Amino acid sequence: MTDKHHHDHHDHHHDNELDPFAARVKALETILTEKGLIDPAAIDAIVETYEHKVGPRNGARVVAKAWTDPEFAEWLARDATAAIASLGYTGRQGEHMQAVFNTPDTHNLIVCTLCSCYPWTVLGVPPVWYKAPPYRSQAVINPRGVLAEFGLKLPEETRVRVWDSTAELRYMVVPMRPVETDDLSEDELAKLITRDSMIGTGLPLRPGSLGPGALWPPQDVAGAAT
Amino acid sequence: MSAPDPATVSGLPFQLPPGAGPDAPVFAEPWQAQAFALAVALNERGLFTWTEWAAALSREVASPGAAADGSDYYAHWLAALEALLREKGVAAPELVDALSASWQRAAHATPHGQPIRLENDPLHGTR
């Protein structure tokens, strides 16, 4: 249909090229499909799910419900797997979930030092930095330094607790509800809850704030302003 | 803060990569999403447990050459998948190599805008 040539001297604007990684994935797909181990349509469905349907909005709904419903919060603290599943979010790998609650005394941070275990069900696929070696090592060695990179400075007396995820047990952080949000509905509250606030590298937005960086406690914290 | 900065001790200071925001795309390239989905699907089918998967992936990401910015994460993911499929006797490395080369030839021989098919490999059927 085109005037393209099949010569060794190829034209990058017209030829398709598969990079080596893409070609290897195609090769695996071919083998697995021929063996009946995968259904290409199911693969597409998984991609679609994780690109568009599963993401931090799920976790935000969990947190907003915990903020507004003490019974749910208690259930979430006791049996996060079941409480989260009650909202329709279930783990594909049968992993257990534990929700760790921030308090005025303790700030929680999640990491996977071994690889990249992450609460997919509620947060989707992890950000690049979560999977990178510096975060995986520094979150444990120097959590305050890591938090500072995210612009998050906690009061000196706040304890930072780091939770190392595994294939079987994944954590999510339940941040503290920002002040001056008593009038907000569950849906409105959910909009304040960022992905990073559920990893522990951030805090929820404050009502009316234009972006991340809202600090808790909102005032009277030495060094809180950047 | 009088203790030595641990970040400089370990040699791997954490720095937030530029462009890292909540809206960053989940996968940088389509093959990453495909490789991700293959592992999820095979686990669901029972070919390996997620614990086996995590062990295979952690072996790869712990390799000495791993990029500090995590940009090669899905390359590790793919290597872990290939390793597990080799261990399980599902896909021999030679076959994966041969088919990868075939797919690349097929892509090269396919006019732009048309679907790439393995049959488009000029050497298709000779393997």
**Global ipTM:** 0.84
CB A15: neighbour CB atoms within 10 A? Answer: 16
b/e code A74-87 from CB counts within 10 Å (16+ = b): ebbeebbbebbeee
Asked if the structure places residue A178 within a domain, the reply is yes
Q: What is the pLDDT of residue A69?
A: 97
Interface test with B, best of A26, A52, A169, A196 (most B CBs within 10 A): A26
Q: Closest to B90 (Cβ–Cβ): which among A30, A37, A128?
A: A37
The reply to whether B37 touches chain A by the CB within 8 Å rule is yes
Asked if the structure places residue A226 within a domain, the reply is no
The reply to whether B61 touches chain A by the CB within 8 Å rule is yes
Q: What is the pLDDT of residue B26?
A: 79
Q: What is the pLDDT of residue B66?
A: 81
Could you confirm whether A137 is annotated as catalytic?
no
Asked if the structure places residue A190 within a domain, the reply is yes
A164 and A101 both lie in a single domain:
yes
A44 and A88 both lie in a single domain:
no
The reply to whether B57 touches chain A by the CB within 8 Å rule is yes
Chain B partners within 8 Å of A28 (Cβ): 35, 38, 81-82, 85, 91, 96
Ordered per-residue pLDDT tens for chain B, 127 residues: 444 444 344 456 777 766 666 666 778 888 999 999 999 999 999 999 999 999 999 999 888 888 878 889 999 999 999 999 999 999 999 999 999 999 999 988 888 878 888 988 988 876 5
Structure tokens at A87: 């909202």
Q: Which domain holds residue A29?
A: 20-51
Q: What is the pLDDT of residue B11?
A: 52
Asked if the structure places residue A14 within a domain, the reply is no
Q: Closest by alpha carbon to B109, among A214, A226, A18, A223?
A: A18
Q: B53 vs chain A: nearest CA distance in angstroms?
A: 8
Query: Is there a contact between A22 and B31 (Cβ–Cβ < 8 Å)?
Result: yes
Structure tokens at A10: 């190829």
Chain A partners within 8 Å of B51 (Cβ): 167-168
A66 and A177 both lie in a single domain:
yes
Asked if the structure places residue A214 within a domain, the reply is no
Q: What is the pLDDT of residue A105?
A: 96
Asked if the structure places residue A130 within a domain, the reply is yes
Ordered per-residue pLDDT tens for chain A, 226 residues: 444 444 444 444 446 788 999 999 999 999 999 999 999 999 999 998 888 888 899 999 999 999 999 999 999 999 999 999 999 998 777 679 999 999 999 999 999 988 788 998 899 888 888 988 889 999 999 999 999 999 999 999 999 999 999 888 999 999 999 999 999 999 999 999 999 999 999 999 988 764 444 444 333 333 333 3
Burial of A36 (0-12, 13-18, 19+ CB in 10 A): exposed
Instruction: State which of A35, A51, A67 marks the end of a domain.
Output: A51
Asked if the structure places residue A71 within a domain, the reply is yes
A43 and A131 both lie in a single domain:
no
Q: What is the pLDDT of residue A32?
A: 97
A59 and A151 both lie in a single domain:
yes
Question: In chain B, what are the domain boundaries?
Answer: 28-63+70-91, 92-127
A146 and A174 both lie in a single domain:
yes
Q: For chain A, how many structural domains are there in total?
A: 2
A105 and A180 both lie in a single domain:
yes
A157 and A47 both lie in a single domain:
no
On the question of a cis peptide bond just before residue A217, with omega within 30 degrees of 0, the verdict is yes
A34 and A67 both lie in a single domain:
no
Q: Are A31 and B95 a contacting pair at CB < 8 A?
A: yes
A64 and A45 both lie in a single domain:
no
Q: What is the CATH number of the domain that holds A66?
A: 3.90.330.10
Asked if the structure places residue A90 within a domain, the reply is yes
Q: How many angstroms separate the CA atoms of A163 and A165, rounded?
A: 6
A188 and A85 both lie in a single domain:
yes
Q: What is the pLDDT of residue A37?
A: 96
A88 and A189 both lie in a single domain:
yes
